[in-house]
Amino acid sequence: MNKYYLLAEDISKKFGRRLIFNGLNFEYNHNGIYGIAGINGSGKSTLIKIIAGIISPSSGKVIHKLDDKVIEEEKLHNYVGFVAPYLIMYEEFSAWENLTHISKIRGIEFNKELFNSLLNDFLLIKRKNDLVKTYSSGMKQRLKFIFALMHSPKILLMDEPTSNLDDEGKETVYRIVNREGKNKIIVIASNERTDLDMCSTKIELEDYKK
Amino acid sequence: MKPYALFKKDYHSELRTRYAINSLTMFIIVALSVILFSIGNEKVPQNLTGGLLWVVIFFSAMSGLSRAFVSEEERGTSLILHLIAAPTTIFNGKLLFNLILVFLMNIVITILYSALFEEFIIRNFLLFFLTFILSNIGLAIASTIIAAIISKAGAKGTLYPVLSFPILLPLILISVMLTSYSMIGASFADAKMGLAVLVSYDVIMLTVSYMLFDFIWKD
């Protein structure tokens, strides 16, 4: 089994003069579910974007390693699965077209069986050929999970994973997160107690404001 | 292959949304009509028609070429691109889309322009062809990187032509000069320096774009 290692070294982030967090250190070297907690505006999304390599920290660094080899920043997207409410899929395409285009841009094999099984898991199989703009917000959120899992990532980053989901959707997400958490690192940023209850350790961002 | 896949995604998206094609088509028609009406029955000096062609090309480019990045930013889909491809792939894919759009747009403009303006006669066709190819490449590269820069800004619509003007000015000036050379039937020896400037412009813009894009794209 591949061994993934995530290390954050003294990271801080400022937007202009406003300090979001400072002196943040953590190390995840075992598969499992880890949490980032904090009130609204505490910087959970910022931190998860920094871990995903979407934005840079103001200071410090985040290191991703697979089998003791550092993953280059340019190639990080191949290893990361990402779910967030602000992630927007192409609404002019159907779910199936989104997956087709994205797999080609990623340069991965178009795995029809995997995509159908994910669509089935997230209860979108019957609507896979409908345009995403006709989906409800909960259906769009479920499609984001398929997007995050379609390339079999080594680490899964989730920002508010259960937002917009109904009870059935939440159950599906918890089931899949628990399943995936056995063979990869999952980081969840949320202020939902039920989301954070799945996490073995939690970073409380309010502790890093000085 | 990955940039081509991104180009195909943009092409299919364009067929569904008509974000750039409609605005470009309307702009070309309006710009050519305004020039035709303002000239009326007047006889336009030959060297002026070459300049007017590049005015239409410049402003048409301003109306549609920012689409590459602005539409992703406006629809909130740029995050997906961050998560599925390396910055070089994104730039190459968007550049490919803009190259094809610029060539299609400028072929249509040039054909319409030749049909509507009797004074627009090319005497050294090969020189005009080379100028057309090199200018279009430069225009596509410059407009792609400028689109990437302004897509993160607030007043995108205003900023695009304002930021493009100084960057595209050398390209437009040389293109106007070379077009007038090809209209008077000048030899390649006369146009050698101009063509060398166009090649240098394309190479410099491409190099600078690749160097800058990582920084523009990340934050």
CB-CB contact of B201 with B214 (8 Å): no
Q: What is the pLDDT of residue A114?
A: 87
Residue A84 CA to residue A45 CA, distance in Å, equals 8
Residue B17, chain A, CB below 8 Å: the answer is yes
CATH number of A4-202: 3.40.50.300
- List pLDDT tens digits, range B162-176: 888 899 999 999 999
How distant is the Cα of B85 from the closest Cα of chain A, in angstroms? 6
Query: How far away is chain B from the Cα of A205, in angstroms, using its nearest Cα?
Result: 22
Distance CA A194, CA B183 (A): 74
Task: Identify the DSSP state of A69.
Answer: E
Close Cβ partners of B78 (under 8 Å, ≥ 6 residues apart): B69, B72, B151
Residues of chain B in contact with residue A82, where contact means CB-CB under 8 angstroms, are 83
Encode burial over B72-85: b for 16+ CB neighbours within 10 A, e otherwise.
Answer: bbebebbbbbbbbb
Q: State chain B's mean pLDDT as an integer.
A: 88
**Is the Cβ of B207 closer than 8 Å to some Cβ of chain A?**
no
Output the pLDDT for position B44.
79
pTM for the model: 0.89
- ipTM of the complex in this document: 0.88
CB contact under 8 A, B87 and A74: yes
> Is the distance from CB of A150 to CB of A180 less than 8 angstroms?
no
Q: Return the minimum-mean-pLDDT range out of A16-20, B115-119, B190-194, B211-215.
A: B115-119
Nearest to B85 among A52, A84, A105 (CB): A105
User: Among partner residues A75, A84, A105, which is closest to B84 by beta-carbon distance?
Assistant: A105
Taking CB atoms and an 8 Å cutoff, what residues of chain B touch A91? Answer: 75
pLDDT over 70, % of chain A: 99
What is the average per-residue pLDDT within B112-139?
A: 90
Predicted confidence (pLDDT) per residue in A177-206, tens digit = 888 888 899 999 998 888 888 888 888 888
Answer whether B89 touches A (CB < 8 Å). Answer: yes
Q: How many domains does chain B have?
A: 1
Q: How far apart are CA B25 and CA B20, in angstroms?
A: 9
Question: Are B82 and A54 inside 8 Å of each other by CB?
Answer: yes
The string of DSSP letters for A85-102 reads TT----TTSBHHHHHHHH
Give residue B219's pLDDT. 65
Nearest CA in chain A to B16: A92
- Test B9 with A88 for CB contact under 8 angstroms: no
Nearest by CB: A87 against B6, B80, B89: B80
Between A74, A92, A106, which is nearest B84 by CB?
Answer: A106
pLDDT value at residue B51: 87
Residues with Cβ within 8 Å of A67's Cβ and at least 6 positions away in sequence, in order, are A2, A3
Number of CB atoms found within 10 A of residue B184's CB: 13
Instruction: Sort out which chain A residues have CB atoms less than 8 A from B89's CB and list them.
Output: 105
Residue A2 has pLDDT above 70, yes or no: no
Would you kindly state where each structural domain of chain A is located, as residue ranges? 4-202
**How much is the average pLDDT of A80-85?**
93
Domain that holds residue B122: 2-218
* Nearest neighbour of A80 by CB, restricted to B6, B83, B219: B83
Q: What is the DSSP string of A97-165?
A: HHHHHHHHHHT----HHHHHHHHHHTT-GGGTTSBGGGS-HHHHHHHHHHHHHTT--SEEEEESTTTT-
Report residue A1's pLDDT band, with 50, 70 and 90 as the boundaries. Answer: low
